[in-house]
Amino acid sequence: MQVGLSGPLRAAANGEASINIEAETIRELLNHLLERYPAMQQHMDIGIAVSIDGAIYRDNWATRIPEGSEVFLLPRIAGG
Amino acid sequence: MQHDQKYTGQDFKVVGTRPNRPDGIDKVTGRARYGADMSAPGQLVGLMLRSPHAHAKIVKIDTSRAEKLAGVKAVLTSADLPDLTNGNAGDYATLENCMARDRALYDGHAVAAVAAIDKSTAKKALKLIKVTYEKLPHVTDVDEALKKGAPQIQPACDGNLGGRYEFGHGDIEAGLKEADVVIEKSFKTGQTHQGYIEPHACLATVGPDGSGELWVTTQGHFTYRNVCATLLGMDIAKLKVTSSEIGGGFGGKTHVWIEPVALALARKANRPVKMVMSREEVFKGSGPTCASSMDVKIGAKKDGTITSAFIECRYSDGAFPGIWGMLGGMTAWACYDLKNCKSVGVDVLVNRPKVAAYRAPSAPMMAFGVESTMDMLAKELDMDPVQLRLKNVAREGTQSSYGPVYGPIGIEPTLEAVRDHPHMKAPLGKNQGRGMACGFWFNIGGQTCSDLNIGVDGTVNLTVGTIDVGGARASLSLIAAEELGISYDDVKTTIGDTNSLGHNDTTEGSRGTFSSGMATIFAAREAIEVMKGRAAQMWGIPVEAVSWENGHAVATGAEHGNLPPLSLKEIAAESPKTGGPIAGHHEVTADGSGVSFASHIVDVEVDPETGRTQVLRYTVVQDAGKAIHPDYVEGQFQGGAAQGIGWALNEEYIYGEDGCLQNAGFLDYRIPVCSDLPFIDTKILEIPNPNHPYGIRGVGETSIVPPLAAIGNAVSNAVGVRLNQVPMSPPRILKALEDA
Amino acid sequence: MSGVHVTTTVNGDPVEFVCPADESLLDVLRDRLGLTGAKEGCGTGDCGACSITLDGQLVCSCLVLGAEAEGKKITTVEGMADGENLHPLQRQFIDNAALQCGICTPGFLIAAKALLDKNPDPSVEEIRYALAGNLCRCTGYDKIVRAVQAAAKDLQKQNRK
């Protein structure tokens, strides 16, 4: 599936705005991402959020990614 | 147990009503206990010594005379707080901020602390601590800090650049070529403080066995526990943190400030230590939000279609790099459906306090730039400002400026509600003007754990781990009552301490009711499963033949259909004989939070003689997803708007040439008072979040985002001058009128 | 430091205490008498969270010395309810959701009572100016003003009876 990358994550993926990764869960997705782009580690340390069909998942790595869904990786968000 | 968290569109019986809050009587009678209201036998008073310099090398700290003073039980410097952070940069920054190490990085940075038998002895002891400083050059302005040759604040950073984050899609240069009109403008916002009325306060105890207790005003007692345990080398399970009633937080109580120091003093003295910040310390030594400086450029066709949208905003993070530029960059263009957009958030270090979150952190600044420029564009195109926004509005299916494609969202409905609101048609007088603006905030979820216990009389204790600032206990009681099918009055919700529940993330990002609401729904459903089993036992029928309807177990199927339903109370009464206490428990990473949008309308009158702006009328329209307790949703809308009004018109940290804060008190840092404001009208829209069983989005933050620009637009419409700097204080408005 | 012996009345009860000459009445109430209803938001008289009345006069207790309470009658939020009956202001603050975090509430209740004692039928503007010395950061004051209006009506009804 195609995975979109937001600004700061693009830099760690050699500037790619979108990459192709096969994964059934968020954990698989992030593991594959790290294998391919070791520079992702610093973003993983701070935290990466995964948007699946517009809903943002911050922590639950067991979450399944339905086939055909729109997936986008974002920096982790905090609030006030 | 896995539960489906999808919104089902159920009809609500008690959710959406407005019962009295459970902590109301305690709070109107003075019984409620806040951070400074707790005492322990033999407690000491802890006080902090703070740097009087904006930037200085700490050559030597001589504590010997203070230590000898009768009644002093412990004196602390950074030497007593070894670095146990194991290379974690965030934890180390927290440690260094709690107590300066080799350098003081801002006016008010803590450098030493004492614990003594009373306040006057502790004050005397502070005076006896001799700190030898070597003053260093300082910089407090965000743009100055980025210039070559500016004093460098953190050696690990590139100059004072803490980080640079870009978001967006398309090609803004190509978009500009398509544009008929281009508007370009720069803006600045002053640094503001959350301004919670309750200063930071805690009571700490640590025994020689390494076990400790902390009573503290905080938005996240579990987070405070983890951070304090890390910094002090304690076991997490041996530090019990109890959250007091909290006298406001707005993001400022998401980080530790005095708490690790209070624990370290208590450990050194082996006596309980109470620390309470003064208001001056709150301004100087806690975490305000950033000042900012930004450049905006929008290109559009004659019909109002935006072809190119660019913003770069530089945020002053204080002396430690944060994520504030990144957050701002994500929010900038979120309200709009844009072919070509780019936002850049830049984090900049300055000699000011370490910034903390403040309600929708970083979004109000970007919104000031974006929404002011949108109005300038509307004027240039001779278009109605609401129509211009509607023409470019983001909808379900729009690719957001920060990346993902939106699900169902509420920006268009809020704009339509503004367009159709009677406020928009009310007449205006001389020197009066009307403005509107939009705002966005993400909302977050996170780790959550709730516990629901049913007593033998059928009343219910709900224990949650997200702290309650503005009425969340009432909302969560409503949710438990709804789910169980019982009365609101039969549920008592309390906030558990860190020993009584699993980890709960801090109450930030408008997550309290969203996350604990979700955990409560599922805990109640688990309790219902238990009760169905008990009812089956009482009837002697298989559990599969029992369903739950309106607070009753109902026997189903032809065989059992004639059994009269068993109420929750009847099942609870029999519980000692059917297997013991009935409980439901749920822990979850509450993901799937729904984004939130608001549109505000404001009328102002500007006095051209004095430059003073009076807010005459204010209307907030916001999507709540689902308003569980509408009174407290309205309260969030009104409170956020009032804070935004203060930011727009009055509030600002003012630094002198010496890099020291000149207005560290409520007299000179003036937050809005009762006579400054009108009634604040609210309109709650409910566009359900598809990923929450009740459709909840979170309502706490978005309302602070639009006011800065809404008021700027109103001032522009009132007296014809465009203010590009907040606060729009009387001298700035007078100057703009003179220059016009 | 030698202490000052003070004889006073707090919420109708006779009270004696000894405090240093420079100790504020707020610190006396909170730390010596255990009445933590009055809050310290600023210590400089700017926020009103420590509002009490002294012989019926509304004051910031952080700006009054403990020693000045000699022979005076002090009323704090703890003295507002009559047994289990809440004062109409207390009732209306709850009914109107006029508090969120509640830290400013004791001060607002005392200040609003001082207003209604003098002016039983205040206009919105009079309410807003009378309460301008009390800071609230949560509510935007909207529901506070409405609660005071509603309590004024309740008190008028009570007094007609």
Q: Do residue C142 and residue B470 have CB atoms under 8 angstroms apart?
A: no
Kindly give the residue spans of alpha helices, DSSP state H, lying in B129-212.
142-145, 172-178
Enumerate residues 6+ apart whose C-beta is below 8 A from C23.
C65, C66, C67
Enumerate residues 6+ apart whose C-beta is below 8 A from B87.
none
Mean pLDDT of B92-107: 98
Reduced to 3 states (helix: H, G, I; strand: E, B; else coil), residue B191 is: coil
Mean pLDDT of B316-340: 97
Residue B194: name the closest of B635, B698, B615, B642 by CA. B642
Amino acid identity, position B327: L
**Binning pLDDT at 50, 70 and 90, where does residue B1 land?**
low
Amino acid identity, position B256: V
Mean pLDDT of B576-601: 95
Mean pLDDT of B21-35: 98
Average pLDDT, chain B: 97
Side-chain half-sphere CA neighbours of B722 within 13 A: 16
Q: What is the DSSP string of B627-642?
A: -SSHHHHHHHHHHHHH
The CATH number linked to C22 is: 3.10.20.30
Please give the C-alpha separations between residue B577 and each of A64, B481, B552, C41, in angstroms, as whole numbers: 42, 25, 19, 52
The ipTM of this complex is 0.98
Would you tell me how many other CB atoms lie within 10 Å of the CB of residue B721? 19
CA distance A24 to chain B (A): 17
Identify whether A23 is part of a domain.
yes
pLDDT at residue A59 is higher than 90? no
∠ CA(B256), CA(B261), CA(B265), 5° rounding? 150
pLDDT at residue B579 is higher than 70? yes
Write b or e for each residue in A13-26: b if 16 or more Cβ atoms lie within 10 A of its Cβ, otherwise e.
beeeeebebebeeb
Which tokens sit at B145? 């800090």
Measured in whole angstroms, the distance separating CA B389 from the mean position of its chain's CA atoms is 27
Q: For the domain bounded by B24-32+445-590, which CATH number is listed?
A: 3.30.365.10
Please give the C-alpha separations between residue B714 and each of B257, B440, B608, B706, in angstroms, as whole numbers: 39, 20, 14, 12
Between C30, C40, C46, which is nearest B667 by CB?
Answer: C46
Q: Which residue did the predictor score with more confidence, B485 or A61?
A: B485
Q: Do residue B250 and residue A80 have CB atoms under 8 angstroms apart?
A: yes
Reduced to 3 states (helix: H, G, I; strand: E, B; else coil), residue C23 is: coil
Do domains B24-32+445-590 and B594-740 share one topology? The answer is: yes
The domain boundary, picked from C16, C49, C79, lies at: C79
Note whether C44 and C94 are same-domain residues. no
Note whether C67 and C94 are same-domain residues. no
Note whether C110 and C145 are same-domain residues. yes
Look at residue A80 in the predicted model and tell me its pLDDT: 83
Class of domain B594-740: alpha beta
pLDDT digits (tens, 9 = 90+) for B655-693: 999 999 999 999 999 999 999 999 999 999 999 999 999
Interface test with B, best of A1, A5, A6, A70 (most B CBs within 10 A): A6
Find chain A residues with C-beta within 8 A of B361's C-beta: 78-80
Domain ranges of chain B: 24-32+445-590, 594-740
Find chain C residues with C-beta within 8 A of B470's C-beta: 100-101, 138
**Structural domain boundaries, residue A71:** 2-75
pLDDT at residue B350 is higher than 60? yes
Spatial contact of C50 and C62, defined as CB atoms under 8 Å apart:
yes
Q: How far apart are CA B633 and CA B716, in angstroms?
A: 30
Between B327, B589, B691, which is nearest A77 by CB?
Answer: B327
Look at residue C65 in the predicted model and tell me its pLDDT: 98
DSSP B694: T
Find chain B residues with C-beta within 8 A of C76's C-beta: 30
pLDDT at residue B212 is higher than 80? yes
Domains contained in chain A, number: 1
Enumerate residues 6+ apart whose C-beta is below 8 A from B154.
B160, B162, B319, B320, B321, B349
**Structural domain boundaries, residue C113:** 88-160
Spatial contact of B527 and B587, defined as CB atoms under 8 Å apart:
no
Find chain A residues with C-beta within 8 A of B169's C-beta: 17
Q: Do residue A79 and residue B360 have CB atoms under 8 angstroms apart?
A: yes
Mean pLDDT of B117-133: 97
Q: What is the DSSP string of B15-48?
A: TT--PPPTTHHHHHHT---BGGG---TTPEEEEE
Please give the C-alpha separations between residue B298 and each of A65, B131, B188, B308, in angstroms, as whole numbers: 37, 52, 17, 6
Which tokens sit at B18? 């407005």
Q: Locate the chain C residue with the closest alpha carbon to B675.
A: C128
Domains contained in chain C, number: 2
The CATH number linked to A41 is: 3.10.20.30
pLDDT digits (tens, 9 = 90+) for C45-80: 999 999 999 999 999 999 999 999 999 999 999 999
Mean pLDDT of B528-555: 97
Which tokens sit at B41? 């036998």
pLDDT digits (tens, 9 = 90+) for B621-660: 999 999 999 999 999 999 999 999 999 999 999 999 999 9
The domain boundary, picked from C79, C110, C125, lies at: C79
Pair type for strands B212-216 and B239-243: parallel
pLDDT at residue C17 is higher than 80? yes
The CATH number linked to C103 is: 1.10.150.120
Look at residue B558 in the predicted model and tell me its pLDDT: 85
Residue B600: name the closest of B686, B716, B682 by CA. B682
Which tokens sit at C76? 């704090």
Per-residue 3-state assignment (H helix, E strand, C coil) for B492-544 = EEEECCCCCCCCCCCCCCCCHHHHHHHHHHHHHHHHHHHHHHHHHHHHCCCHH
Residue B377: name the closest of B368, B367, B369, B388 by CA. B388
Look at residue C30 in the predicted model and tell me its pLDDT: 98
